[in-house]
Amino acid sequence: MRKIMIMFFLALVYFPFLPASQLEKRIEKISLSEMQSVVEFLAHDLLEGRAPGTRGGELSEIYMRSIFKLLDLEPGFNNAYLQPFKLKGFTIKKLQVEANGINLRYLDDVIGTYAREKKEFELEGDAVFIGFGIKTGLWKWDDYKDFDIKNKIVIARVNDPGMYLSNIFEGKTLTYFGRWTYHIEEAARRGAAGIILIHTDETAGYGWNVVENSWSGEEVYLESDLKNNLRFRAWIKEASLRRILEARKIDLNQLYQRSLKRDFKPVDLGFKIKIGGKNNFRELSNQNVIAHLPGKTAKRIVVSAHIDHLGKDERKRGDNIFNGAIDNGTAVASMVLVAKILKEFEKDLHYSITFLACNSEEAGLLGSKYYVQHTNRDTIIANINFESTPVWERARSIMGIGARFSTFEDILKQLARKEGLEYSYFSMSNQGFFYRSDQFSFGRYDIPAIWISAGEDDESGEKKYTRFWKTRYHTVEDEYDPRWKLEGMKQTIKFALLLIDHLNKNKVVPRWKDRLTFPIENK
C-alpha cells in the first residue's frame, strides 16, 4: 500500500495533467451551434458590415450588451456595459492629386483621406522622399536626420530595412517601425502636411484591392490623433510614382538603394504636390462593450475581440457588404464562449476577467487604444486577444502571435505539448500581425499581450487560414458559411481557456522577456 501511495504522489508531481479536468470536459462539450450563433448574426447582411457610426455598427453594440447580460456578467465600465467615445469621420467625395504637373487618378493611382472639417479643400507642399521615414535607437536608424519636413508632403516606403537587409531590424519579420501606421505617426510628429505611402503587394503584404476596400470609404479618427499638422494621408501605386519621377529623370530604384543606408537623408524631389477635392465629415459616437467577471483579486486579465468591420461600398454593384464573418465574427464568438465557460467556473478564478468587445479596430485599433488610455492599467496583468479565428478543421499546432516577446510563449509551448500539438509561428510574420490587431494597444502600454489562434497547418495538410489572408481578407467574400466545421475555432477557444486556467491556478503574471521591437508609451 505504501508503495502504491508513493507512486501516486510521484504521478501527481511529474504528471499533474493526467486526469482530464472539469474545465477540459466542459470544453469538449462546446457545440457547433454554440459557435455558429454569434458569427451567423454578426455576419448577417442586415448588419451591413458593422462600420462605426452606422445602424449595423450600433446593432452589434446592442447585441454584445445583450449577450453579456444573458451570461450574467457584471457591467465593465462605470456600472455600465457601454463605454462611449467620440470619433471624427471623413469621406472623400472627390480627389484631385497633381504631382510634377501630372494628374493622378483617384482609386486607380492614389487613394487618400483629408482629415479636416472642410467640405472643399486644397493643399500644396514640396515633395520630399523620406525613405522609410523611421527613427529608432534600437537599430541606430534615423531617416530624418535634421531635415525639416514641416508643411511638406512626404513620400515614404512601407515596411522596414530588414526586409532587404537580414542583419538589421528583424530581417523579414516586420517590426512596428515598418507598419504604415508608424510612418504616419512619425510624419505627424514632425509637422508634415501630408504623407503618401508607396504601395507594392510585397511591401504592404496585400494587394491594391485591400487598400481600396479599406481606405475608400469613411475614415475615422480619435480627436486626439488629429491634433497635429498632418491633413492628408494617402497611398500611391509604385508604378504611378515611377511615372512622375521619370518625368524629372529621377530613378526610384536609386532612391530605394540610398534609403537602405544609415547615412540616408531625405531627398527634396524638386516639385510640388497639389491636392484638392471635396469632403464629407461628421462627428460620430462609438462604443466599446465591456463586461467583468470578478475573481479573488482585483488584478485582471483582459480578453478582447473587435466587433467592427468595413461596412459596405455604395459604389459597388451586386454584393457590396463587407460582412466580416471571419474578420471578426469568429473571434467575437470565441470570446463569448470563453466568457460563458469562465462564468461556469467563476469560483475557481484567482484573477478577475474583463471582456472587451472593442470598436473601430479597422480604423487603427481606436477602440482598444481608447480603452487602454482610459482604464486603470495598473490592475491589468495581461491581454489575450482573438482576431480572425480560423473556421475549418483542426490544426496540428497552436500559435500565439506576439507571445515571443513575453513568458506567454513558454506557457503556450507547455500547454501545446500536454495536448500533443506543436507550437508554431505565423508564416506571414513579414506582415507584422502583432501590430495589426487590438493586442498591440495593450502591448504598447507595457501590458504583455497576445493574439491566440489555432495554427495554419490543417490536419489534412491544407493551409486554408493562410489562403484566407491572401484571398478573402477585407473583401466581400468574407461571409458566413454554415458548412464550416469550426474545429480550429474550438481549438482556439480551448487554448485560451487553458491559458487563463494556468495563469489562475499558478497565480502567474506574464512578463516581457525579449528586446521589444516597438516603443512603450509613457516610459
Q: pLDDT of 116-146, one tens digit each?
A: 999 999 999 999 999 999 999 999 999 999 9
Q: Is the pLDDT of residue 334 over 80?
A: yes
Mean pLDDT in residue range 22-50: 97
How far is Cα 82 from Cα 57, in angstroms, rounded to an integer? Answer: 13
pLDDT of residue 231: 98
pLDDT of residue 15: 37
Do residues 155 and 192 lie in contact, with contact meaning Cβ atoms separated by under 8 Å? Answer: no
pLDDT digits (tens, 9 = 90+) for 164-174: 999 999 999 99
pLDDT of residue 19: 52
Q: Is the pLDDT of residue 107 over 70?
A: yes
Who contacts 331 (Cβ-Cβ below 8 Å, separation ≥6)? 305, 306, 386, 387, 388, 389
pLDDT of residue 17: 38
Q: Which residue has the cell 482530464?
A: 20
| 88-281 maps to CATH 3.50.30.30 | yes
Q: Which pLDDT band holds residue 13 (cuts at 50, 70, 90)?
A: very low
How far is Cα 447 from Cα 466, in angstroms, rounded to an integer? Answer: 28
Do residues 335 and 385 lie in contact, with contact meaning Cβ atoms separated by under 8 Å? Answer: no
- In our burial notation (b when 16+ CB lie closer than 10 A, e otherwise), range 224-245 reads ebeeeebbbbbbbbbebbebbb
- In the chain, the percentage of residues whose pLDDT exceeds 90 is 92
What's the mean per-residue pLDDT of the chain? 94
Q: Is the pLDDT of residue 9 over 60?
A: no
The pTM (predicted TM-score) of the whole model is 0.92
pLDDT digits (tens, 9 = 90+) for 405-450: 999 999 999 999 999 999 999 998 888 999 999 999 999 999 999 9
pLDDT digits (tens, 9 = 90+) for 436-494: 999 999 999 999 999 999 999 999 999 999 999 999 999 999 999 999 999 999 999 99
| 42-72+294-506 maps to CATH 3.40.50.2000 | no
Q: Which pLDDT band holds residue 316 (cuts at 50, 70, 90)?
A: confident
pLDDT of residue 317: 87
42-72+294-506 and 88-281 share one CATH topology? no
pLDDT of residue 8: 44
* Domain range summary for the chain, segments of one domain joined by +: 42-72+294-506, 88-281
